[in-house]
Amino acid sequence: MARAARQAIDEARDQVASVLGTAPGDVVFTSGGTEADNLALLGRAGARPGPVVVSAIEHHAVLHAASAAERAFAAPVRVVKVTKDGVINLDDLPRALDKTVSIVSVQLVNSEVGTVQPLAEVARLVRRRAPAAVLHTDAVQAVPWFDVAELAAGADMVSISAHKFGGPQGVGALAFRRAVKLEPLFYGGPQERERRAGTHNVAGIVGMAAALGATAGQRTAACERVRKQRERLARGLLDSIPGASETAAGQEKAPGHCHLLIGGVESEALLVVLDQLGLAASAGSACASGAMEPSHVLLAMGYSPSTALGALRLTLGHTTTEDEVDLALRAVPAAVSRLRPAGPRLPAPGLSGAGPPGPGVPATDGLLATDGVPATGVSGASGVPEQVASGAIPRAKLAAVEGR
């Protein structure tokens, strides 16, 4: 039994390494993307203390790990600004780099607005100005859409999480491109070459490898189809909702991300109505103590708090159908009309002066599926309208995924 489990793990490790472009021995299995990010930042800061450099729009798994490294190891955190288009500011990055830097972490695809970061240019600057630093990238959002082995070729460490590409929840990996000295987060057995102690999640690891292989095999066709769906969705919503604008319009994005700002409507109320209409959506901001907090990503991009509170994030996946896009094109304008007071047409939301990163946890992704299961993406929904119950508007559901 033990030999069979070991063989299954070894085969899964070979498959993950092949897709990510590294050696099997350089893949460390974790419980997900959050643990992989924490292992990269805290592990590196513990092994080689020094400043930690992050962009202002990183996932909170990175930002909070950087803050923890500062507390635990007196490792100063240097935050790099981003542009109004949600891309790391390469003119600001050199300011944060010097020979003392321990680690630089820049995500491959932003988890809220979907922008692709210029990791190759970041790597070149890091090598030149901070030669002792290692470069980490959170590629959790990138795997379904891009060849990570190619796009993250300049990174020393790459984090992934299985649930983002159809694998099981609760499993991920940190892949290494070169030898990096890390302090482990957990102590115990010699698993993962003493970099991550604990009994392996065999079923999860095998499932992740299978999903990763399947994703890589169908990526090109899926990306083309989903990109067209996303463009149709964004164009239709912008045409039908006065005062709506697309964030980072014109930037390279993950094909499945559609992120809008809608004037005159707060996300919290909009999500409840969309849930009632059978549409799973998110806002890209956190709900704490009953009050919406503006997204730290949007604030870093220069949007005002009030504008950021009108965010709507719709994510499409490989199972999304044209009927579900049609549902969104009907439901979102209807929900906005229901919530807005009667009055003049609103201007599209604009940018304010750039502000510091604010609170807010990037919201859960949703893949829409017309399988008759009630939507579960928003708590507090007060019931189902007649048009949904009668079948006039088909139902959609939110896949149960980690809130990352």
Sign of the CA dihedral with 382 first, then 385, 388, and 390 last: positive
DSSP 183-246: --SS-SS-HHHHTS-S---HHHHHHHHHHHHHHHHHHHHHHHHHHHHHHHHHHHHHHHSTTEEE
Q: Are 314 and 328 in contact (CB under 8 A)?
A: yes
Task: Give 254-308 pLDDT, tens digit per residue.
Answer: 999 999 999 999 999 999 999 999 999 999 733 332 446 899 999 999 999 999 9
pTM of the model as a whole: 0.84
Rounded to whole angstroms, the Cα distance separating 53 from 280 reads 35
pLDDT score recorded for residue 242: 96
pLDDT score recorded for residue 284: 74
The token duo for 168 is: 């099981």
Q: Active-site residue among 42, 113, 244, 287?
A: 287
Task: Give 34-92 pLDDT, tens digit per residue.
Answer: 999 999 999 999 999 999 999 999 999 999 999 999 999 999 999 999 999 999 999 99
pLDDT score recorded for residue 360: 34
pLDDT score recorded for residue 352: 54
pLDDT score recorded for residue 347: 59
Rounded to whole angstroms, the Cα distance separating 293 from 288 reads 7
For residue 257, which phi and psi values (nearest 5 degrees)? -95, 125
pLDDT at 189 over 60: yes
**DSSP structure class, residue 266:** -
Instruction: Please give the domain boundaries of the chain with CATH numbers for all domains.
Output: 2-213 (3.40.640.10), 220-389 (3.90.1150.10)
150-155: list long-range contacts, CB under 8 Å, 24+ apart. 150/21, 151/108, 151/116, 151/119, 152/108, 152/119, 153/21, 153/120, 153/177, 154/119, 154/120, 154/122, 154/123, 154/124, 155/119, 155/123
398 against 37, higher pLDDT: 37
For residue 52, which phi and psi values (nearest 5 degrees)? -110, 125
Least trusted range by pLDDT, from 114-118, 192-196, 285-289, 350-354? 285-289
pLDDT score recorded for residue 346: 55
The token duo for 234 is: 């964004």
Q: Is 287 a catalytic residue?
A: yes
171 against 292, higher pLDDT: 171
pLDDT at 383 over 80: no
pLDDT score recorded for residue 341: 78
Per the prediction, the chain carries an average pLDDT of: 86
Sign of the CA dihedral with 203 first, then 108, 112, and 219 last: negative
pLDDT at 381 over 90: no
Q: Which helix (H) or strand (E) holds 53?
A: strand 52-55
Chain centroid, CA 32 distance in Å: 13
Task: Give 224-233 pLDDT, tens digit per residue.
Answer: 999 999 999 9
pLDDT at 195 over 80: yes
